Amino acid sequence: MAFPKWERKARIFLCIFGLFLSVYALHVELSRERNPDYRALCDLGESVSCSKVFTSRWGRGFGLLQFVVAQDSPLNQPNSVLGIIFYSLQMGLGLSVSKRAALFLVFSSWVSVAGSIYLASILAFVLGDFCMVCVSTYVVNFALLFTNVKRRTAIEGMKEKAG
């Protein structure tokens, strides 16, 4: 099965960019934990600060896991670690042309978009902050959803033509 060239290129770009953003977010969070005076490149002011967001309670386990597991539990990982896993899976599964992989790509993208909307709400209405890295990941997540829906539609169309 062949997909449009834009789909493969878009997926690679979005996943690499998402991985870069997630690794940078993890770097900022770990640097800030080691040194409270650390100032990240994305910290432009009092209300434009990614390190403030990453080190908030919502920076780990979406701020929800701490109610289920201990705050220092290995399960309560920084959101950036979840991003690294998500973008790696999107990249790897994007190599597959199976219907099942396409379905998982779409499903996991919907979950990421729901998480993006939740975290954007926290960012705007609770923290009152603007995080360039966060907003960039939200855009990447929406773009991956679009790409994955297009892929699933293409696979469905190819299966119908073959059948």
- pLDDT single digits (tens) 127-158: 999 999 999 999 999 999 999 999 888 887 76
> What is the token pair recorded at 17?
């960019």
Residue 109 has, within 13 A of its CA and on its CB side, a CA count of 27
Q: Is the pLDDT score of 98 beyond 90? A: no
pLDDT computed for residue 3 by the predictor: 67
More confident residue, 94 or 73: 94
Q: Is the pTM of this model over 0.85?
A: yes
More confident residue, 17 or 6: 17
State pLDDT tens for residues 62-83. 989 888 988 888 888 999 999 9
pLDDT band at 108 (very low <50, low <70, confident <90, very high): very high
Q: Is the pLDDT score of 118 beyond 70? A: yes
Domains of the chain plus CATH, in order, are: 5-162 (1.20.1440.130)
Average pLDDT over residues 22-40: 94
pLDDT band at 18 (very low <50, low <70, confident <90, very high): very high
pLDDT computed for residue 162 by the predictor: 63
Residue 135 has, within 13 A of its CA and on its CB side, a CA count of 10
Q: What are the percentages of helix, strand and coil residues in the chain, rounded to 5?
A: 75, 5, 25
